């Protein structure tokens, strides 16, 4: 795993205006994720985990603070520039696979490439490669309703990888799956993280999944910290924790 910084967030805040007052999800929150690292973010429902993931995934803008990918500050990009950046740099997997029901598995996986302007025949070749990687090449002509929940999530993973992202972000990727199917998807996520040289950020309630990652962070009361649960962190990981002026740096 490289020691270079893949994503750096500095003094992030997300504040919503609600009923004439401010609802502060978090503020002065900073985070450094190394290239090739797998980071799990855990915490109670409503703690702001998905909000943080959306900010890191450039799907929303922070109220304050900056986000860097390598040396690139994405905070000032226009909406069009952000959309292009997401398409070329990031892959997303959600709890709900959100496949387009009227399209086949193959067509769903080609979608990010077509949006990028890749020729349909080339996009289809890449999509077939990704479907093969997730073990579903035989299902390319099936629509979402003809696929099991686990198969749909694997199609979503193939779609996330189709554009060759540097960073994979996943929000409860096994939340809708039974234990056995979830374990299969988690193993696949682990294998693909390694073979594609990804940097991965996972929001999860699954502590078994979390402890397989390189680092586990808990979002609690607007702060990121190492969790107190025994066994979740390898010995000495606290040496990676430093402090950045203006926020918790973990």
| pLDDT tens per residue across span 141-160 | 999 899 999 999 999 999 99
Give yes or no for residue 204 having a pLDDT over 70.
Answer: yes
- List pLDDT tens digits, range 160-192: 999 999 999 999 999 889 989 999 999 999 999
Give yes or no for residue 59 having a pLDDT over 90.
Answer: yes
3-class secondary structure, 197? coil
**Distance from CA of residue 68 to its chain's centroid?**
16
Q: What's the pLDDT band for 247 if we cut at 50, 70, 90?
A: very low
Residue 3 has what pLDDT? 62
Burial of 134 (0-12, 13-18, 19+ CB in 10 A): buried
- What would the mean pLDDT of 47-67 be, rounded to a whole number? 95
> What CATH number is given for 5-249 in this structure?
3.40.50.300
Residue 229 has what pLDDT? 59
- What would the mean pLDDT of 23-48 be, rounded to a whole number? 93
Q: Please give the Cα distance from 212 to 235 (Å, whole number).
A: 14
pTM assigned to the model: 0.86
Q: Phi/psi at 8 (nearest 5 deg)?
A: -135, 120
Q: What's the pLDDT band for 236 if we cut at 50, 70, 90?
A: very low
Q: What's the pLDDT band for 245 if we cut at 50, 70, 90?
A: very low
What is the sign of the dihedral through the CA atoms of 145, 148, 142 and 101?
positive
Give yes or no for residue 74 having a pLDDT over 50.
Answer: yes
- List pLDDT tens digits, range 84-120: 999 999 999 999 999 999 999 999 999 999 999 999 9
Q: Please give the Cα distance from 7 to 224 (Å, whole number).
A: 15
Strand partners, 201: 39, 169
Continuous H helices in 33-148: 49-56, 79-89, 105-116, 120-133
Burial of 175 (0-12, 13-18, 19+ CB in 10 A): middle
Q: Percentage of the chain with pLDDT > 70?
A: 90
Residue 135 φ/ψ region, left for φ over 0, alpha for ψ in the -120 to 50 degree band, beta for the rest: left
Q: Please give the Cα distance from 125 to 59 (Å, whole number).
A: 28
Residue 234 has what pLDDT? 43
Q: What's the pLDDT band for 129 if we cut at 50, 70, 90?
A: very high
Strand order in the sheet with 199-203: 90-93, 167-171, 199-203, 38-42, 215-220, 223-225
Give yes or no for residue 200 having a pLDDT over 90.
Answer: yes
């Amino acid at each position: 795993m490289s020691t270079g910084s893949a994503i750096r967030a500095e003094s992030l805040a997300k504040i919503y205006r609600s009923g004439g007052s401010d609802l502060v999800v978090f503020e002065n929150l900073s985070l450094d994720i190394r290239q090739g690292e797998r980071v799990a973010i855990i915490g109670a429902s409503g703690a702001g985990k998905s909000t943080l993931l959306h900010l890191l995934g450039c799907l929303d803008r922070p109220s304050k603070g900056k986000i860097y990918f390598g040396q690139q500050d994405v905070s000032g990009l226009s909406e069009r520039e952000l959309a292009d950046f997401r398409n070329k740099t990031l892959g997303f997997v959600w709890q709900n696979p959100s496949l387009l029901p009227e399209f086949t598995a193959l067509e769903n996986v080609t979608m990010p490439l077509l949006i990028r302007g890749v020729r349909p025949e080339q996009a289809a070749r890449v999509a077939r490669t990704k479907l093969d990687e997730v073990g579903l090449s035989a299902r390319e002509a099936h629509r979402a309703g003809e696929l099991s929940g686990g198969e749909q999530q694997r199609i979503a993973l193939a779609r996330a990888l189709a554009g060759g992202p540097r960073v994979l972000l996943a929000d409860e990727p096994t939340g809708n799956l039974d234990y056995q199917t979830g374990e299969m998807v988690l193993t696949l996520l682990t294998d693909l993280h390694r073979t594609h040289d990804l940097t991965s950020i996972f929001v999860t309630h699954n502590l078994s999944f979390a402890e397989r990652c390189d680092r586990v962070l808990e979002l609690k009361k607007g702060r990121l910290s190492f969790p107190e649960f025994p066994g979740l962190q390898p010995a000495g990981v606290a040496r990676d924790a430093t402090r950045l002026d203006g926020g918790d740096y973990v």
